[in-house]
Structure 1
Amino acid sequence: MRLPMTGIKSTSVILGDVDAMRKEPFAAFCGRDAWGCHLELYPRPDGSLYICGCGGSDEVDNDRMREGGDCYDPDSIAADPARVAAARQSLADMSSIGRLDVPAVEQACMRPSTPDGLPVMGRVPGAPNAFVTAGHNCWGILWAPISGKAMSELILTGESSLNLSRFEPGRFGTLAVGEKRPREEMTSPSGSSAENPKRRE
């Protein structure tokens, strides 16, 4: 079975020792602004500040991640300088922290995403003893405990205490790798219409 999984390359930055974060650490989640950012700010115990939501994420298809593609080598997954600059401008508009020196770290990550933005969890169709859990996008760490519980139950007992029907690996049918399911067909795990989470740049 081929899962229609793509990568989303997103820029993030880390500001070094920020005194204000030591005195009054806070997290912030911002709406989209004039710089094309929707910053998320996460203070860390060492006084540094992790910033993502820089906007302008790059959707990377499988060919680009295979050998010979521009995203095959992990060292090539680098921050977009334009998005770093935009993030600094965005932060400067809301806080004097944004007017600090160049970030200590400029980086990018590759987030695994499915066409409908929901993870894939369950039995692999046609392979009774094969299971898969993948495609959690930027929420992999957050979803890890409940995903592990659900999948371990499914593997050990044949069923999960959680309803995994929205995450069935076979839900894409014959959808080709890289093809997107029409927006009107996308639903949240609760069954209500929802914006595709993969669009969170």
Structure 2
Amino acid sequence: MGYGVMAYAVDIDKLVALCGSGDDRARRAVSGRFRDRIQRLNDELGWSNERGEPSVFTAINHLVLGEQPTLDGAMYGYAFKFLVEFSGRFLDNRPFYPCRSHYLSDTVDPELAALGAGIRMSGLIFGGAPVAFPPPDDFPAIGHWTAAQVAADAERLRDASTIELKTISGWLDEAAATGRGVVGFYH
């Protein structure tokens, strides 16, 4: 399978507002909707599925309910991914999954710069989450492009010629049409 980019068009302001909102109903909705996947992920990474034990479930609780972050950064990273997936729309990632991270910074980023775009794929996966939590030491890598960045570069990429840039252009068009940003993960 390998590593790759997962990108989502999402209203970043609403996502930021969800984190720390204390909205237990939203927390339960996220945990319920993705319960099987969260349990599988906890199992794969050697984390517990027991109530109250350190896990992605607990990290979702901390993020949404505004509790003190006491867990490993990776738990928060994956918990945040489930919040993004709940709140946003998955974007076609075929050219970027699988994909080595250095390909993004060494090849795709210079192509974006050549078109005059301000966004970079390296920023989308390594720029950090739009909310504060302990960063993962390893995976998932997280980054984002704001709605303003998306809107500013959407037109610049419309005449893209490579499949990678055409894909990114599609991401920008889809996100810009609804005033959204893009949140990306690499793992």
Normalising to structure 1: TM-score of the pair?
0.26
Relative contact order higher in (CA < 8 Å, ≥ 6 apart)? 2
More helix by share: 2
Structure whose alpha-carbon radius of gyration is higher: 1
Normalising to structure 2: TM-score of the pair?
0.27
